[in-house]
Structure 1
Amino acid sequence: MPLTDSAARTAKPREKLYRLADTLGLSLEIPPTGSKLWRFRYRFASKPKMISLGSYPAVTLAKARELRDVARSQVAAGVDPSKHKQAEKRAREAEAYTFEKLANEWYAYSAPRWADATAYKARLYLNNDIIPGIGKRPVAEITRPDLVELVRKVEARGTLNAAGKIRQWLNQIFRFGLAKGVATTNPATDLDVVAAHAPQVKHHPHVPLAELPELLERLAGARCDQPTKIAIRLLVLTGVRPGELRQAPWNEFDLDAATWTIPAARMKARRPHIVPLPTQAVDLLRDLQEITGRYDLAFAGKANPGRPLSENTINKALRIIGYEGRQTGHGFRHLISTELNSRGYNRDWIERQLAHGDADEMRDTYNHAHYLEQRREMMQAWADAIDAVCTGGRVVGIRTGSR
């Protein structure tokens, strides 16, 4: 006899599980807990099998019969309803399985076997570039063009080594997803085929150290504002990139500790950078505080203090004093690198001061404060050397006037 809705509704649990039969293999299973589950019995490949069709009353008797008929049609077509249901479940899970979840699982699995520097670097680029770009998207929806676009943004910063690492890690993450069964393809293969080519090395012009006193003397008498003059002198003393200096807020500087901490978000290589400040640089920044200390930005724009000094201001000032084609703001980094290397300083100290990533990945360090005290001593000696070469001229020190 077919089951009635009344019988299904009034059925009570017993000490042992029992079933109320409907027709064509459908039954309502009632365990001692009192829940009511629809079951469909069938034979496939000569073997008895059973699947669940949901719980009563969420799935009504009429709906259960519809689901039974669908399952019977699958059996007739040579499809096992149990395996079909499992495949549908996996497909639903894949739709909800985000790249962020997969990437974090890959990292947790891989990091214990890496050197600390590699683990730090992978986590840094996951957090700063990869996950913000595609992390919220289901793994199954991510395509190769999506990954090309993501890597292009990293390449656009000029960090081609980082872009190469990210391509490598994306490939590993999707291979991990294939092995777990949450990805069906690996869209990260062959990304190197469209990788950006390294640009020709662009040498920023710079004067030799012997000509620096004249440059500073001309700068002291130039018709440009004091913050611009201070900015140029700080580039000479620290070796930072002009953009890192121009956009610096005051809260990055600890003048009592003679330290400037630049967060990863503002750095080209997307890792934090600590700059030791020689005493001459601290003096300059204290002078600057009297001019712009009431603003958030150290080098607040003249017309709009909420915006930083224009990126053209420094090079324009150098042109005005006669150094067009001979010196740029970025060129001071090359001057510092040349001079410090010629004086025999440890290469790693110099590279860390200039916030360079080492071409040899094993030499690169995950500790952003590494060599801080050595660099502090090195940069103080550099600042003192500049004072020494300037002693014979009207520019007695790196500041206007004597220290």
Structure 2
Amino acid sequence: MLTDIAVRKAQARDKPYKMFDSNGLFLLVTPAGGKLWRLRYKIGGKEKLLSIGPYPEVTLAAARDARDEARAGLRAGRDPLLVRKQLRAQAANDDRKFEKVARDWHTLNKSRWTERHTADVMISLEQMVFPLLGNVDVAEITPPMVLDVIRRIEARPALETARRVRQRMSAIFLFAMGLGLATTDPAAVIQKAMAPMTKGRQPALVTLEEAREALAACEAIPAHPVTRLAMRFLALTHVRPGEVHGTRWTEFEGLEGDEPLWLIPAPRMKMKDAHKVPLSRQAVELIEALRELTGRMPYVFPNERNAHKPMSENALGYLLNRAGYHQRHVPHGWRATLSSIMSQRFPADRAMIDLMLAHVPKDKVEAA
């Protein structure tokens, strides 16, 4: 049997030679100085040779373990060479699956996205696409298969989400085409088969009485407490829903003082400008109540399934729909609610209201 010292000191010769260990294991030493582990075995009366790997990457002990594993397979009637080919084929197949390609695409692109968008993209894929197509070879996915995914989202109904998911799937297929893993983009083909969506203003309540009724309705139905509090926080701060989804505890300042602030960093804002939101007494009380629920987590409003991800971009919309406000009021509508109520009460303060909403004036002189 071989020893580590003997293997380490083995020198190259003019011709390749073998150093035998036991049970068919040997070390092949090449004229170039390479040291390669091999296993000779018989199956079905035929002698075969299995390559285990080079020394010192594969140690003597590791080579013996590989030999023992191969011989155990032989006793069970499995050809080690065939097992290796099957494992390699499986690994190659895994690389072609839609979920693997999608995660590679996501990793490649996330450096140019905001943190919130990065999380939103992956959550949408994990919840709506991977359960149906994740294990399918990316080259075998057809337009009807993609359309089935989109139809399920449209039926909720979530037409805007369906469009975003289709766009993300299309980008993944184009990525796969660039890698030579696919030849077509089936997500592009189905665009004209999607449910039509009428563009226009998002529905919103425009009176204080209606706003109070909506909040009361949302808090009267069964729902996760964090989702309920997120809805109230959105109404109190009139930011965009996505800015609430990704809120981190580190963004709050002066909660115990006279001027509590929520500082939303520029990367999380639509216009990429940092935004300061003064917090009312009610908003501060809500935040303190949330500490008992999510204070140890990075996000103030975490995802129900994964506390290290922001809440789903659809959670607030679902809550309003279940409360009876489908096509009457959407999460983004709280901004219109504030704008309408404040404009009626303080018509001379239009510029201040726009500042509260983080609106950028279209007129360059006005903006300056």
TM above 0.5: no
TM-score scaled by structure 1? 0.40
- State the TM-score, normalizing by the size of structure 2: 0.44
Choose 1 or 2 for highest CA Rg.
1
